[in-house]
Amino acid sequence: MWYLTCTEKLRKNYNTTFRIDLIKKIKVLATKKDTRVNDFLEAPIQDLLKKNEKKGK
């Protein structure tokens, strides 16, 4: 399923698995920061991709 919000790029659901302790901690952090868990997961992925683009990999 593809969807688009008014402030975001086109998005698609993607499922993966994480350790249960990490899921619990990221949910707590997202609640404290009043943001979505997805935002915490996307940021380091974007950083990783940028670093690898710079290295030419």
- Determine the Cα–Cα distance for residues 57 and 9; give it in Å rounded to an integer: 25
pLDDT at 40: 87
pTM of the model: 0.65
* Structural contact between residues 44 and 55, judged by C-beta atoms closer than 8 angstroms: no
Distant-in-sequence, close-in-space partners of 24: CB < 8 Å, separation ≥ 6: none
Higher pLDDT, 56 or 45: 45
Mean pLDDT for the stretch of residues 9-27: 92
pLDDT at 4: 55
pLDDT > 90? residue 5: no
